[in-house]
Amino acid sequence: MPVAKLKELLDREGVKYVSISHSTAYTAQEIAASAHIPGKELAKTVMVKLDDKMAMAVLQATARVELERLRQPSGAQKVELAGEEEFEQLFPECHTGAMPPFGNLYGMEVYVDRGLAEDDEIAFNAGSHAELIRMTYSDFQRLVEPKVAEFAAVPANV
């Protein structure tokens, strides 16, 4: 697993988790299909800038971030998507776009969409495009302490 410090944290905290290897996939929907996980149960991490400060927005793979809806819970005046070139150096042990939603390991805030927070489990990229971690949402909540807000738009057919 590229993210050794994540695995160390989970082991140190006694978290029960499953590591799921899958064929290489890049989009959240491809990953869900490859790992045989419903897209609504897979979390994707979207990097955003809140007043030019990097943060993570974590939501269901089937949803998209509505940036304007992050403004109020974050208290930011300006909310925008971050470009890969702006954040890839922050996660040297991760493949670009495969960062786990543990912003606390990288000194940044994490926002989780309420729809994802209502699930019993969470599955997410483990730092590569071929491995996921699945664990209880309650353990994720305890370790990351994300701010829960409603900022995702989920297509009606999902």
Residue identified by tokens 């040297």 is 92
Kind and range of the H or E run holding 140 = helix 137-144
The CATH-assigned architecture of domain 4-153 is Alpha-Beta Complex (3.90)
What average pLDDT is seen over the chain?
90
pLDDT digits (tens, 9 = 90+) for 72-114: 999 999 999 999 999 989 998 888 889 999 999 889 999 999 9
**For residue 9, pLDDT beyond 60:** yes
On whether the CB atoms of residues 23 and 123 are closer than 8 A, the answer is no
* Cα gap 2→95, rounded to integer Å: 8
Q: Are strands 121-128 and 64-65 parallel, antiparallel or unpaired?
A: unpaired
Q: Which of 31, 50, 51 is nearest to 41 (CA)?
A: 31
pTM, rounded to two decimals? 0.91
